[in-house]
Amino acid sequence: MPDLHFDNSCPFSLSGQIALITGGGTGLGFAMSSALLSAGAKVVLTGRRLDILREAVKQLGEGSFAYAQDVTNPESITDSLDRIQREIGDPTILINNAGTHLKKALADTSMEEFRGIMGTHVEGAFALSQALVPGMRRQGHGSILFIASMTSLIGMPNVVAYSAAKSALMGMVRGLATELGPENIRVNAIAPGWIETPMLHKALDGDPTRRDKILSRTPQAKFGNKMDIGWAAVYLSCPAASFVNGVMLPVDGGASIGF
């Protein structure tokens, strides 16, 4: 098995690596982009809204790049990846972060909506992983991260499509970890808990009862910071985690095990 081509002076360094983060221009995607850049990687932010990606690159600075890409469109994936490989190189880190949310009860969720959620989260992540693995093989190593969810671990009402998609990702993690592990390509997932984001505030600021309920079931009794997810992504992508494969890391203050 080939050795990792990392800067061995620091096991947490990502120097020399190229990371592609889908949905990397906002929220948790931006936080992970920032953390990986700080660890020494070049970061490629992809998404459908190029203006937002370019603004994110302005904030991140040197070593960050923006490319338009729609993970639900195979032609878009092929075109953007060809450009990335020509202009920057083969990504050795992939973070499948792009996704969308749907909060609806079973009776109110249409088949079209269900397929749309599955298409973005599951089919998109599958297509992009499939597209990037050949480049990782050429480099002799790779790390693929899926962004799972609390709904991958516990039941929540009124998010059946989202729960199905995030649970399906874990099947891909296990399957790909066993398939690609012998080629020095590791596959893992992060399951974010309740993280301080505009979306969280939109959901909870007018609902103090729900906010208190969540905090009461979180052993650390607080919400997480976006960079908590960013640093978890660095760890799972770096040499320090070179024997970590096929796992889901909850970053949730203990919420998934608390009561």
Q: What is the pLDDT of residues 54-77, one digit of tens each?
A: 999 999 999 999 999 999 898 999
**Structural domain contains residue 210:** no
pLDDT higher than 70, residue 3:
no
Active-site residue set:
162
Q: Evaluate whether residue 241 is within a structural domain.
A: yes
- Residue 6 inside a domain? The answer is no
pLDDT at 122 over 90: yes
Q: Which of 62, 133, 50 is nearest to 96 (CA)?
A: 133
Q: Confidence band (pLDDT; 50, 70, 90) for 2?
A: very low
Q: What band does 147 get if pLDDT is binned at 50, 70 and 90?
A: very high
In a domain, 258, yes or no: no
- What's the total number of domains in the chain? 1
Q: Please report whether residue 2 resides in a domain.
A: no
Q: What does the pLDDT look like over 206-224, one tens digit per residue?
A: 888 988 988 999 999 999 9
Lowest mean per-residue pLDDT among 118-127, 132-141, 181-190: 118-127
- What is this structure's pTM? 0.92
Helix H, strand E, coil C: the string for the chain is CCCCCCCCCCCCCCCCCEEEEECCCCHHHHHHHHHHHHCCCEEEEEECCHHHHHHHHHHHCCCEEEEECCCCCHHHHHHHHHHHHHHCCCCCEEEECCCCCCCECHHHCCHHHHHHHHHHHHHHHHHHHHHHHHHHHHHCCEEEEEECCHHHCCCCCCEHHHHHHHHHHHHHHHHHHHHHHHHCEEEEEEEECCECCHHHHHHHCCCHHHHHHHHHCCCCCCCECHHHHHHHHHHHHCHHHCCCCCCEEEECCCCCCCC
Residue 3 falls within a domain, yes or no? no
Q: Which domain holds residue 110?
A: 18-195+226-247
Task: Specify if 42 maps to a domain.
Answer: yes
CATH assignment at residue 63: 3.40.50.720
In a domain, 256, yes or no: no
